[in-house]
Structure 1
Amino acid sequence: MPKTKFQDIIFTLIMVVVMVYALVVYNIALDRGGLTNEVFVMAFGELAVMGIAGFLLEMFIAGPLAKKLAFRIVTPGEDRMTAVILAVSAMTVCIMCPLMSLIATLLFKGVDSQVIAKWIQTTVMNFPMAFCWQIFFAGPFVRWIFGHLFPEKNECTGNVTV
């Protein structure tokens, strides 16, 4: 887990790319009626805009708020690290999914008299994917990458652990 502000920025950047790309692929596939090889390429076009939005939201709104909410449920240092990670991840999805769905709705589905309905539908469709992707793939994968980029030195033994 990140120990410095620099590490937090790198961790967030990697997580945003992994999460946003997957959700963009998912949404394009839903709109087109299925997943094709072309969808993976098309997703790169939306990744820049949605990635910047996701990074800013995560760094300044969702990240701090998710930790605050999660730490009402678990206590770092007292509870198991797995419980802390799962609580923060779940709270992050609960905040980020509606926010990112709102941005996607406004940018890609248009603003009209049905904008609220479109946003709610987009959020409801995205939430199960975002939650499962975060808990079962993106979270473990990004922590694995991060652990290799920033191996921790064990203070007791001096050994490096990944």
Structure 2
Amino acid sequence: MSVSKKEEIVFGLMMCTGMVVVMMTFNLWHTGMLSQMNLMQVLIQLVICFVIAFLVESFIVGPVARKIAFSFSFARVSKIKGVLTMSFFMVIGMVLVMSLYGIMTAYAADQLNGESLFSAYLHTIARNFSLALPYQLVILGPLVRYVFGRWVKGRAVTTVSI
């Protein structure tokens, strides 16, 4: 949807903000850490997670997902198929990387409670993917595309129903 590098950065910031806030809140709640942290601790974690997620999305997952998604001919001929394919591969990449980040922070905070790193990582991937994909496809993706089209691009965007 974005054309210039500036638009690409703004779109990425919008998408990353929406994903990080929801996914981090979900994971802190799921592990019971949300009730144990004060607001400042949550905000610090949010900022750190956001910076890591944005850098990973911008320099690793985004370029790889774009290359994979648009290697499929159907993703190049239909805008909606391209968006869905790109979103799917972005979610896979980001869930794999950010789940690893989450497991590393849980391990550093001694929160794994005897569970093996590998088992915890696989469980975290499954849990995060089950929320991230529908959230991205049904809620955040269409919302960010709409807001981006109206606010950044300054034009009306037709929404596509799935």
CA displacement, residues 7-47 of structure 1 (integer Å, 9 cap, x when unaligned): 001100111010011001111111129x88x98x5743421
* 2:104 matched residue in structure 1: 106
1:129 matched to which residue of 2?
131
Mapped to 1, the partners of 2:42 and 2:85 lie a distance apart of 29
Instruction: Determine if contact 2:21/2:46 at 8 Å carries over to the other structure.
Output: yes
Does residue 65 of structure 1 match 2:67? Answer: no
Q: Distance in 1 between matches of 2:45 and 2:150?
A: 28
List gaps (5 residues or longer) in structure 2: 158-162
Structure-2 separation of matches of 1:140 and 1:95: 20
Residue equivalent to 1:27:
27
Whether 1:91 aligns to 2:86 is: no
- Identity, % of aligned pairs? 27
What's 2:146 paired with?
A: 144
Cα distance, 1:102 vs structure 2: 0.2
Structure 2 residue aligned with 1:18: 18
Gaps of 5+ in 1: 153-159
Distance (Å, rounded) in 2 between the aligned partners of 1:126 and 1:43: 19
TM-score (norm 2): 0.82
Instruction: Report the Cα distance in structure 2 between the residues aligned to 1:2 and 1:151, rounded to whole angstroms.
Output: 8
Using structure 1 for the length normalisation, give the TM-score: 0.82
Distance 1:75 1:87, change over 3 A: closer
Answer yes or no: is the 8 Å Cα contact 1:21–1:43 preserved in 2.
no
SS state at 2:103 partner: helix
Question: How many pairs were matched up?
Answer: 151
Q: Which runs of 4+ in 1 moved over 6 A?
A: none
Following superposition, the deviation at residue 64 of structure 1 comes to 0.8
Q: What is the letter of the counterpart of residue 63 of structure 1? A: G
